[in-house]
Structure 1
Amino acid sequence: MDRNTVVSALEQALTEVLERPVTGLDGHVRLFDDLHLDSTTMLEMLMALEDSLGLVVDPEDLDADDFVSVDTFTTFVLSSLSTARAAS
């Protein structure tokens, strides 16, 4: 899986969770500051990504630094998916 696939899935998840179109995300978009996410919408977004990407996230493993921007979140998702595939 590549970064573009993750960003596309993120746009879809955010569109669903925020109930408004979210497109054209670039890596510098800040999830909380620019998109106005909060902890509830972040969890809803993670659940949507679990469905679309097969992402499995243990809430205990979440780090606020992973959710700063589209870039940091995409890196987190790719790392999580890579770790999950290596474990199976």
Structure 2
Amino acid sequence: MTHSISTSYVEPGEELLDLVRRAIAQVLDRDPAEIGPDSRLFDDLGLDSTSALELLMEIEADSGVEFDMDTLEQHHFTSVRALAGYVRCQLDG
């Protein structure tokens, strides 16, 4: 069986953007107001591989989503909006 992985962008909505912002703020000990939807996770916010794993666990706990690591790709971590879009896709299943 072949699986097709969509790389198209999905608009996450304000609620998911806020959830991801709060999770990032928690993991990186930052003020959520400083984290914009287009903030780059690694370049602007200082996320690293360890904090990325913590972030995924925090989002899973906050949203109830269980990430499929086979579909998670580097481009999902380019920005807050990109990660929130990935969360939306996972929630929509």
**Percent of residue pairs identical:** 33
1:71-82 matches, within 5 Å, as 71-82=81-92
Unaligned runs of 5+ in 1: 84-88
1:68 aligns with 2:74: no
Aligned to 2:54: 44
Once the two structures are TM-superposed, the CA of residue 24 in structure 1 deviates from its matched residue by 5.0
Unaligned runs of 5+ in 2: 1-11
Superposed CA RMSD: 1.5
- Larger fraction in helix: 1
1:1-88 matches, within 5 Å, as 3-23=13-33, 25-83=35-93
- Structure 1 residues 22-79: Cα deviation after superposition (integer angstroms, max 9, x where no partner): 2253332111100010111111111111111112113232100111012211111100
- Structure 1 residues 2-40: Cα deviation after superposition (integer angstroms, max 9, x where no partner): 521111111221121112222253332111100010111
Distance in 1, Cα, partners of 2:82 & 2:18: 15
Aligned to 2:9: none
